[in-house]
A = this chain, B = another copy of it.
Amino acid sequence: MKKKFLNFITKLQDEITLSLENLDGEKKFNEDIWKRVEGGGGKTRILENGKIIEKAGVNISNVYGNLPKNLEDYFKVKNSKFFACGLSLVIHPKNPMVPAVHGNWRYFELYSSDGELKDRWFGGGQDLTPFYLKEEDAVHFHKVCKSVCDKYSPNFYKKYKEQCDSYFWNHHRNEARGIGGLFFDYLRPDFDNKIDDLFEFVSDFGNSFLNAYLPIVNKRKNYKYDSKEKLWQEIRRGRYVEFNLIHDKGTLFGLKTNGRIESILMSLPPTVKWIYDHKTEKNSEEEKLIKVLQKPIDWVT
Q: Which residues of A contact B (CB under 8 A)?
A: 32, 46, 48, 55, 57, 172-173, 234, 238, 241-242, 245-246, 255, 261-262, 265-266, 268-277
Contact = CB atoms under 8 A, between A and B. Distances in A.
Contacts of A262: 276-277
Nearest to A273: B271
Contact of A272 (B261, B271, B277): B271
Copies of this polypeptide in the complex = 2
Contacts of A255: 172, 246
Contact of A245 (B234, B246, B277): B246
Nearest to A276: B46
Contacts of A276: 46, 48, 55, 57, 262, 266
Given A262-B276, A271-B273, 15 more contacts: A46-B277, A48-B275, A48-B276, A57-B276, A172-B255, A241-B241, A241-B245, A241-B272, A245-B245, A246-B246, A246-B255, A262-B277, A266-B276, A270-B273, A272-B274
Nearest to A172: B255
Nearest to A266: B276
Nearest to A48: B276
A277 B268 CA distance: 12
A224 B48 CA distance: 29
A43 to B, nearest CB: 14
A19 to B, nearest CB: 20
A142 to B, nearest CB: 29
Nearest to A260: B277
Contacts of A32: 277
Nearest to A242: B245
A46 B278 CA distance: 12
Contacts of A268: 238, 274
A246 B244 CA distance: 10
Contacts of A173: 261
Given A241-B241, A245-B245, A245-B246, A265 B270 contact: no
A183 B90 CA distance: 37
- Among A266, A270, A275, chain B packs the most CB atoms within 10 A around the CB of A275
A238 B173 CA distance: 20
Contacts of A274: 55, 265, 268-270, 272
Contacts of A57: 276
16 contacts: A46-B277, A48-B275, A55-B276, A57-B276, A172-B255, A241-B272, A242-B265, A245-B245, A262-B276, A262-B277, A265-B274, A266-B276, A270-B275, A271-B271, A271-B273, A272-B274
